[in-house]
Structure 1
Amino acid sequence: MKTKLVELHDFFGAYFHQDWMIEHGSSEDVISSFLVESDIGILRLVQQEVDSLLNEQRSEQDLRNYLLKELSCYYCYWNEWQTGEQWLLHIANRLDITISQLGRPK
């Protein structure tokens, strides 16, 4: 299994791993931890790869399989979100907000 979305794989594998619920109270907490712990360069790369994945316009079932099998994401987003696309758009929005805040001059 080789993925072209290396940074996205690293994000999901490191933050939404099999035991993510032991370390975090919610999926939002997971995303927040990633946003706080990552530098702006990594955030931009992950944002680009989320956009790239969304642009592939995969079917819902294919997206679920890809997230689990190729990107090592063990979060069952369908328990909280209607579609994987909606969840990924939410992640992209959180990334965008954080990147905008970090990119502002102080």
Structure 2
Amino acid sequence: MNKNFPELHDFFGAYFHQDWTVEHETADQVIDGYLSESDEHHLQIVLTELCMLIAQKKEELALREYMLKELSCYYCYWNTWESGDSWLLHIARKLQERLDGSD
């Protein structure tokens, strides 16, 4: 488990595991599944940790390695997204939209 981002590790490890493509066709389907299954409290924690990770401004290759080795994320975002930051910001927006809609 990642000590700095335990909830983010749980999110990526549980939803973007090695076989995520067996369960979902797209990464957005994975995220949407998480959003539908999670309570507001956990969404907020994941969003906070995600923002903290983004704020670290890791170089792209370092971020890829960190995502795989430290956060257990097996989604190769670089095949679809311009950068890791752009993908992480996309996730953050989806989380925030869900939180804003659950008032």
Aligned to 2:68: 68
1:7 partnered with 2:7: yes
User: Does the aligned pair in 1 maintain the 2:63–2:84 contact within 8 Å?
Assistant: yes
> Where do residues 81-96 of structure 1 align in structure 2 (5 Å cutoff)?
81-96=81-96
Structure 2: give runs of 5+ residues left out of the alignment: none
- Per the TM alignment, residue 2 of structure 1 is displaced from its structure 2 partner at its CA by 4.0
Segments of 4+ moved more than 2 angstroms: none
Q: What is the TM-score normalised by the length of structure 1? A: 0.95
Residue in 1 aligned with 2:25?
25
Superposition deviation, residue 25 in structure 1: 1.2
Give the number of the structure whose alpha-carbon radius of gyration is greater.
1
Q: In structure 2, how many angstroms separate the alpha carbons of the residues matched to 1:25 and 1:87?
A: 17
- Structure 2: distance between partners of 1:86 and 1:27: 14
SS in 2 for 1:66: helix
What's the RMSD between the two structures over aligned residues?
A: 0.9
State the TM-score, normalized to the length of structure 2. 0.97
CA contact (8 A) 1:3 1:70 kept: no
**8 Å contact kept, 1:9–1:72:** yes
Deviations 1:48-68 (A, max 9, x none): 000000010100000000000
State the identity as a percent: 50
